[in-house]
Amino acid sequence: MTIRIALMAAVAAVALTGTGMAASLNDVAQKGAMADRIKEKNQINLATAKALGDHCVAAAAAKNMGVSVVIVDQFGIITYYIRADGQGKANTESALMKAKTVLNTRAPSKAVMNAVRSGNQSEARAIQFGNFANAGALPIVVDGQFLGAIGVGGMAPTPGVWSDEICAHNALTAVLGPQPALLPDLPNPYAITNNAATQTQQRAAAQ
């Protein structure tokens, strides 16, 4: 019976992928004996978590890139953790740090990054609250229920074109249906560059 329930959940998650239909809580949450065992009806199932992680890894591979992906539930429990070839500890750890930031804030990890870049919050304060000021993690929300986060790390970003966050967003859209628009990419006032024109602009902005 347990195996049958797991297989049905896997089939449901795969069936939703690429259909453009919005997933329901019934599609993605643990149910049956497994849900009864943990006394929890709103915990993301393994099939959905795996579909999200694998989609992001496959999308990165299609661009000849490696990536690290972690799916955590609303309690911070790691449900699925995968790294592609060529990914080191910093890559896998950053994915988890971003996901934990979403758990703390119930918002994309980019929100903390933008708060730091805009001067509304210091990075030291973000760290004090256990947050990582970097884009790449998004909330997993179905039927208005927060189910956890997908955290992605390991890829060099091309803002607006491809990034850890875009990989996560595309996975969520493919597996769960339409998602909220991504937050804007604010310029990094702390970036160090050797480009003379950029340095001149940065000096002017600082005056």
- The overall average pLDDT reported for the chain is 88
The band of 8, judged by pLDDT with boundaries at 50, 70 and 90, is very low
d(CA 157, CA 3): 40
The band of 138, judged by pLDDT with boundaries at 50, 70 and 90, is very high
d(CA 173, CA 18): 8
Handedness of CA 120, 114, 92, 6 (dihedral sign): positive
Say what percent of the chain tops pLDDT 90: 80
**pLDDT tens digit string along 155-178?**
999 988 999 999 999 999 999 999
Q: What is the pTM of this model?
A: 0.83
**pLDDT tens digit string along 77-134?**
999 999 999 999 999 999 999 999 999 999 999 999 999 999 999 999 999 999 999 9
Q: What is the pLDDT of residue 198?
A: 53
The band of 200, judged by pLDDT with boundaries at 50, 70 and 90, is low
d(CA 155, CA 139): 19
Fill in the DSSP letter of residue 172.
H
pLDDT average, residue stretch 39-48? 95
Domains of the chain: 2-206 (3.30.450.150)
